[in-house]
Amino acid sequence: MRKMVLVMAVLALAGCGEGKRVEAPKPAQATQVAPVQASGPQWDLEVRGETPQAVSDLSGWLIEHSFMSSVVRENGKTRILMGPYASKAEADAKQAEVNAALIRAKKQNIEVLVLERPVVQ
């Protein structure tokens, strides 16, 4: 019985891909895509805790709860930003969602602010 199973396995594997030629996928040609310029203002959310060392803890907590954020260093100050959002209503909705998650997790002394992103020209 053992020999028969071995022979069947060898025959099955030998027939796999017979007559087929496998080629490595060719890399796609790189195309230049121009960044999309928004016509109106864009909005960000800034999430900040009361202590500077809480930046890594806070950004980690946001990632664990499926909130995409980025840590930005501007003028020597570290900030956690979420966004950009196309409208203030969209930013307000995300702010409410983050605040609700913070309350559920009993996180205190953390504020979420809606900020208008400066228009880059």
Fold assignment, 42-117: Alpha-Beta Plaits (3.30.70)
Location of structure tokens 């880059």: 120
DSSP 4-54: HHHHHHHHHHHHTTTT----PPPPPPP---PPPPPSS-EEEEEEEESSTTH
Mean pLDDT by 10 residues, the chain (121 residues): 65 60 60 54 89 81 92 90 93 96 91 85 61
**Predicted local distance difference test score (pLDDT) of residue 19:** 59
pTM over 0.95: no
Predicted local distance difference test score (pLDDT) of residue 5: 64
Give the domain ranges of the chain.
42-117
The set of residues, in sequence order, having a beta carbon less than 8 Å from that of 6 and lying 6+ positions away, is none
